[in-house]
Amino acid sequence: MADILNISSSQTYALVRSGELPAIKIGGRGQWRVERAELEAYIQRAYEQTRAFVAANPMSRNEAVPED
Q: Of residues 13 and 68, which shows the higher confidence score?
A: 13
pLDDT tens for residues 4-56?
A: 999 999 999 999 999 999 999 998 888 899 999 999 999 999 999 999 999 99
- Alpha-carbon radius of gyration of the chain: 17
Q: Can you give the pLDDT at residue 53?
A: 96
Distances (CA, A) of 29 to 15, 34, 44: 19, 16, 30
Q: What is the pTM of this model?
A: 0.74
